[in-house]
Amino acid sequence: MRTLPTLRQLRYLVAIADHRHFGRAAEACFATQSTLSAGLQELENLLDVKLVERSKRRVMLTPLGEAVVARARIVLREAEDLAELAHASKDPLSGPLRLGVIPTIGPYLLPRVLPPLRQRYPNLRLYLREDMTARLLDALHDGEIDVALIALPFPTDELEVRRLGADPFLLACRSDDPLAKAKAPELEHLPEERLLLLDEGHCLREHALAACRLEPSHHRDDFRATSLPTLVQMVANQLGVTLLPKMAVDAGLLAGTGLITRDLADTTPARGIALVWRKTTPRSAEFDLLAGVLHEFAAG
C-alpha cells in the first residue's frame, strides 16, 4: 500500500504557504523550526517532488507546491469537519466556535446576545473576528472561521443563510436641522449633497445608497467615515445628515451627541441581519441552533 502524507505534514506545508517564513510557520504550528523543516522534507521525499524553494531572502512555493497546498487545505478542512461532527453530536454548541461579524453589527448586537448565550451554553468557547463582509466570507470559504454574522443584501449563493430579522434605517440629524421638523421625512426629499456615508468597502454604505434610491456617483466624496461613531461625530459637527441602523441607535450610539432620529416615510428601508455558514459543514444543525438563539435574544 502506498504511504500517504500525514495531516501534520500537510499542516506544516500550509503554514509555510501562509507565512512564507519557516520561523513564523513553526510558531503557528506550535513546533520548532527544525521539526517543521524535517516534516516538509519528509513530505517532499514521500511525494518525490520539490514543493518549496528557500533562499536567504525569501520562501516561495513551486507551481506544483501551490497546487498541493490547495488540495491540502481541503484535506485539513475535511479532517476538522470530521472531528467537529463527532463533537457536535455529543454536546451541541460546546467547544471552540469561530464567529465572524461585521463592524456595523458586532458592537451593537453582541453585547446583548453574548451574556444569555454564554449562560445557556457555558461550554461554548466563542472566538470573534471582526472584519468587513467580503473578507469575512473569504475567511469562511477558506475555513478560517466557522460562521459569520452579516447584513443583507450581499451575494451568498454558496452559503447557507438564516435570516435573523430586519434592521430598519433611521435618519439621523441635529435637532436644529430643517429635517428634524418632519416626523417622517420622505426619501426623495433627502439632500443628496448633505448625505454622509461610510467609506468604500462597507456594505452599510451600499445599503444606505439603495435605501435613498441614489446612484453611487451621486453621493458626496469630500467626507467619508470608516466607522459609525465617526459618522455620528461628523453629523454632530454640522457636516450633514446620515442614515443609521436602528440596532446601533438602540444600543446607544447617539448618547451624548444631541442628535435625533426620524423614521422615514412610506416603506421603511432596512437591511437584513443573517447568520451564514458553508453548506458543506457537518455542524449545520448546531449553527441552526445558534441562529435561533441569536434571533431570540436579538429580537428581545
pLDDT tens digit string along 50-68? Answer: 999 887 788 889 999 999 9
Q: Is residue 210 part of a domain?
A: yes
The pLDDT value given to residue 186: 67
- Note down the domain range covering 239: 166-270
pLDDT score of 77 more than 90 = no
pLDDT score of 175 more than 90 = no
What pLDDT band is residue 266 in, cutting at 50, 70 and 90?
A: low
Q: Is residue 13 part of a domain?
A: yes
- Residue corresponding to grid cell 439621523: 172
Q: Is residue 259 part of a domain?
A: yes
Tens digit of pLDDT for each residue in 89-117?
Answer: 566 788 889 999 999 999 999 999 999 88
Residue 178 and residue 151 in one domain: no
What 3-state DSSP class applies to 37? Answer: helix
Residue 66 and residue 130 in one domain: no
The pLDDT value given to residue 264: 76
Residue 253 and residue 189 in one domain: yes
Residue 264 and residue 282 in one domain: no
Last residue of a domain, one of 27, 62, 87: 87
Least trusted range by pLDDT, from 20-24, 160-164, 261-265:
261-265
Residues in a beta bridge with 244: 170
Distance, CA of 257 to CA of 183 (rounded, Å): 20
Tell me the mean pLDDT in the region 245-261: 91
Tell me the mean pLDDT in the region 213-239: 74
Residue 133 and residue 279 in one domain: yes
DSSP letter (8 states) at residue 219: S
Residue 76 and residue 119 in one domain: no
CATH number of 43's domain: 1.10.10.10
pLDDT score of 3 more than 60 = yes
Residues in a beta bridge with 170: 244
The rounded Cα 92 to chain-centroid distance in angstroms is: 22
The pLDDT value given to residue 220: 53
pLDDT score of 187 more than 80 = no
Residue 138 and residue 281 in one domain: yes
Distance, CA of 81 to CA of 294 (rounded, Å): 23
Q: Is residue 1 part of a domain?
A: no
Q: pTM score, two decimals?
A: 0.69
- Whole-number average pLDDT of the chain: 85
Q: Which amino acid is at 214?
A: L
What Å distances lie between residue 117 and 34, 114, 151, 289, CA to CA? 43, 5, 21, 11
Tens digit of pLDDT for each residue in 109-146?
Answer: 999 999 988 888 898 899 999 999 999 999 998 888 99
The pLDDT value given to residue 164: 93
Length of the chain: 300
Q: Is residue 31 part of a domain?
A: yes
Last residue of a domain, one of 62, 87, 112: 87
Count each helix (H run) and each strand (E run) in the chain, helices first: 10, 10
Residue 179 and residue 260 in one domain: yes
Q: Is residue 203 part of a domain?
A: yes
Q: Is residue 2 part of a domain?
A: no
What pLDDT band is residue 153 in, cutting at 50, 70 and 90?
A: confident
Last residue of a domain, one of 49, 65, 87: 87
Residue 19 and residue 61 in one domain: yes
Q: Is residue 221 part of a domain?
A: yes
My answer on whether omega of the bond before 153 falls inside 30° of 0, hence cis, is: yes
pLDDT higher at 159 or 299: 159
pLDDT score of 25 more than 80 = yes
Residue 161 and residue 276 in one domain: yes
CATH number of 282's domain: 3.40.190.10
Q: How many domains does the chain have?
A: 3
Residue 154 and residue 98 in one domain: yes
Residue 286 and residue 263 in one domain: no
pLDDT score of 86 more than 70 = no
